[in-house]
């Protein structure tokens, strides 16, 4: 594994970035497969943690090829505004029955330039929009002419995971990072395949120990236990007596010293399943290099489970290519590029590839040029999430988890090329005030 990051921990709690430390290798290839080296977090002597397995990140839980979905409607550019035609095609395919593979079909946009003046919405699962390629010549280009801050594609479910019941206490006094088992007061109500929410019941001692209390850097904006009840979703792989084995490891230490934790069953209604955008070049019109009243994100995903954005290039959009938020799961973004955003370089802008409040997300082989926070996440984004084989050029600021206390992220072979006009370009894990 090659990263530009280092192992960062606060008071024994893994934050997000991992790399081999001097004299040790966290994971290596042995004769029987991967060999994991245990490690201790900063300030601790108990080498009980292991690098989490991130292989469940991505479409269908990782390791599953993104399918080629058959065309149901094919559109060619009209030479004028194509917004209504494309939206009508999406709506028509959305009304078709789901086939045995879980898809309704694809809207195919032929080679050429389409003009779109307003947001295109996908609100039904099983729908894919596919172009003829992201290349500048011979592919499919959508020119987004919106005159206000808006997104080209919005893929939106109307729900997300919700918990049921008060939950069962975790009886393990200390659950290390990398563990896939939890012992509960009663696990009889759980079954393999169940979606669960694991909540770290963080207490004031944890906030005090990591220096985010009122006497530390936060001052009057000190963290509170109510604001940092950290939540992670997992699936039950097996149940043995009162022990749950999980599909993906723990990425945040659970310990009695800092409040312990509980497990609740969860359900999910209203999520969009099996949706994708692929093979398109998207460009926003703009009035000036600092214009903020034009295309903002090329693609947004909200409440999506099992989706993708692949082989898409966006150019000039003020904020980024894609943001994945509102409890999405199992999404892949691959072979994509976000180039030359037009907006101010002030705080809050130019988040090229962004995750917020979502897990099991994979970004791989992506490029950003002239962004600020190019591979980035929002506050308390839970993970596991993986950024793999990415490059940020002419970066205006750092790469890494932004805002406050995201967990379970890996930056594997993510590189940033120096911007001679900015000293902040780096991969960085830091406390945020």
Spell out the domain ranges in the chain: 1-51, 59-159+270-416, 161-268
Residue 3 has pLDDT above 90, yes or no: no
In Å, what is the CA distance from 106 to each residue of 49, 144, 213, 417? 44, 21, 52, 37
Among the residue ranges 40-54, 222-236, 247-261, the one predicted with the least confidence is 40-54
Cβ(215)–Cβ(206) below 8 Å: no
* Burial grade of 240 (CB within 10 A; 0-12, 13-18, 19 or more): exposed
392-426 confidence digits (pLDDT tens): 999 988 888 888 899 999 999 999 986 666 656 68
Query: For the residues 3-9, what does the mean pLDDT come to?
Result: 31
Residue 139 has pLDDT above 90, yes or no: yes
Pairing of strands 243-246, 181-183: antiparallel
- Using the 8-state DSSP alphabet, how is residue 67 labeled? P
Q: Report d(CA 88, CA 61) in Å as an integer.
A: 32
Q: Report d(CA 318, CA 341) in Å as an integer.
A: 5
Q: Report d(CA 102, CA 104) in Å as an integer.
A: 7
Quote the pLDDT of residue 24.
Answer: 65
13-56 confidence digits (pLDDT tens): 333 334 444 556 888 999 988 899 999 988 888 899 999 999 99
Cβ(71)–Cβ(108) below 8 Å: yes
Please provide the size of the chain in residues. Answer: 433
160-183 confidence digits (pLDDT tens): 788 988 899 999 999 999 999 999
What dotted CATH number matches 59-159+270-416?
Answer: 2.160.20.10
- Buried-exposed string 186-196: b where 16+ CB fall within 10 A, e elsewhere: ebeebeeebbb
Pairing of strands 243-246, 161-169: unpaired
Q: Report d(CA 42, CA 14) in Å as an integer.
A: 9
Write out the E strands in 229-341.
230-240, 243-246, 254-255, 261-268, 272-284, 297-302, 304-315, 320-325, 329-334, 337-339
Q: Report d(CA 276, CA 217) in Å as an integer.
A: 43
Cβ(339)–Cβ(366) below 8 Å: no
Quote the pLDDT of residue 423.
Answer: 57
Among the residue ranges 70-74, 407-411, 426-430, the one predicted with the least confidence is 426-430
Query: For the residues 145-150, what does the mean pLDDT come to?
Result: 97
C-alpha triplet 361, 116, 148: angle, nearest 5°: 80
Query: For the residues 193-197, what does the mean pLDDT come to?
Result: 97
In Å, what is the CA distance from 237 to each residue of 155, 161, 163, 244? 30, 18, 18, 7
318-371 confidence digits (pLDDT tens): 999 999 999 999 999 999 999 999 999 988 899 999 999 999 999 999 999 999
Quote the pLDDT of residue 1.
Answer: 31
pTM of the predicted model over 0.95: no
Share of the chain above pLDDT 90, in %: 78
Quote the pLDDT of residue 141.
Answer: 99
Instruction: Indicate if the alpha-carbon torsion angle 166, 167, 173, 179 is positive or negative.
Output: negative
Quote the pLDDT of residue 206.
Answer: 95
Quote the pLDDT of residue 432.
Answer: 65
Average pLDDT, rounded, for the chain: 91
Quote the pLDDT of residue 216.
Answer: 76
Q: Token pair for residue 238?
A: 């097996």
Residue 378 has pLDDT above 80, yes or no: yes
Quote the pLDDT of residue 14.
Answer: 36
Q: Report d(CA 9, CA 394) in Å as an integer.
A: 29
Q: Report d(CA 325, CA 337) in Å as an integer.
A: 19
Q: Token pair for residue 78?
A: 């009209």
284-311 confidence digits (pLDDT tens): 999 999 999 999 999 999 999 999 999 9
Whose CA is closest to 196, among 127, 247, 154?
247
Quote the pLDDT of residue 250.
Answer: 97
What dotted CATH number matches 161-268?
Answer: 2.40.30
Residue 55's CB is within 10 A of a number of other CB atoms, namely 13
Quote the pLDDT of residue 5.
Answer: 32
Q: Do the domains 59-159+270-416 and 161-268 sit in the same CATH topology, yes or no?
A: no
C-alpha triplet 235, 239, 245: angle, nearest 5°: 50
The confidence band for 433, taking pLDDT boundaries of 50, 70 and 90, is low
Q: Token pair for residue 234?
A: 């997992």
Quote the pLDDT of residue 166.
Answer: 84
Q: What is the dihedral of CA 112, 115, 119, 122, to 10 degrees?
A: -30
182 φ, ψ (degrees, to nearest 5) = -135, 135
């Amino acid at each position: 594994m090659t990263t530009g990051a280092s192992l960062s921990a606060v008071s024994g709690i893994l934050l997000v970035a991992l790399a081999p430390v001097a004299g040790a290798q966290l994971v290596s290839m042995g004769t029987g497969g991967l060999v994991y080296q245990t490690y201790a977090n900063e300030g601790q002597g108990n080498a009980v943690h292991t690098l989490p397995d991130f292989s469940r990140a991505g479409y269908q839980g990782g390791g599953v090829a993104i399918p080629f979905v058959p065309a149901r409607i094919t559109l060619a550019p009209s030479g004028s505004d194509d917004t209504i035609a494309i939206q009508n095609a999406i709506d028509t395919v959305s009304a078709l029955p789901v086939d045995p593979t879980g898809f309704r079909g694809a809207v195919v946009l032929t080679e050429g330039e389409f003009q779109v003046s307003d947001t295109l919405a996908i609100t039904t699962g099983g729908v894919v929009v596919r172009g003829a390629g992201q290349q500048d010549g011979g592919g499919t280009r959508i020119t987004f002419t919106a005159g206000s801050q808006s997104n080209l594609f919005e893929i939106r479910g109307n729900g997300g995971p919700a918990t049921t019941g008060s939950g069962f206490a975790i009886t393990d006094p200390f659950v290390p990072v990398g563990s896939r088992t939890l012992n509960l007061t009663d696990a009889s109500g759980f079954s393999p395949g169940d979606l669960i929410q694991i909540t770290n019941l963080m207490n004031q001692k944890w906030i005090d120990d990591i220096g985010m209390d009122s006497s530390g850097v936060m001052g009057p904006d000190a963290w509170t236990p109510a604001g940092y009840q950290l939540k992670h979703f997992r699936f039950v792989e097996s149940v043995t007596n009162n022990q749950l084995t999980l599909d993906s490891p723990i990425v945040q230490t659970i310990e009695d010293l800092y409040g312990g934790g509980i497990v609740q069953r969860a359900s999910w209604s209203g999520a969009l399943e099996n949706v994708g955008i692929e093979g398109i070049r998207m460009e926003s019109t703009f009035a000036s290099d600092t214009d903020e009243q034009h295309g903002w994100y090329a693609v947004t995903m909200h409440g999506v489970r099992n989706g993708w954005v692949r082989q898409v290039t966006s150019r000039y959009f003020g904020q980024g290519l894609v943001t994945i938020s509102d409890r999405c799961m199992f999404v892949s973004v691959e072979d994509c590029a976000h180039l030359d955003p037009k907006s101010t370089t002030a705080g809050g802008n130019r988040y090229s590839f962004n995750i917020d409040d979502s897990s099991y997300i994979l970004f791989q082989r992506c490029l950003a040029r002239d962004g600020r926070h190019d591979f980035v996440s929002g506050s308390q984004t839970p993970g596991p999430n993986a950024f793999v084989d990415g490059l940020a050029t002419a970066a205006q600021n750092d790469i890494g988890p932004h805002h406050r206390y995201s967990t379970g992220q890996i930056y594997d072979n993510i590189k940033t090329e120096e911007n001679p006009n900015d000293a902040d370009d780096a991969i960085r894990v830091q406390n945020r005030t």
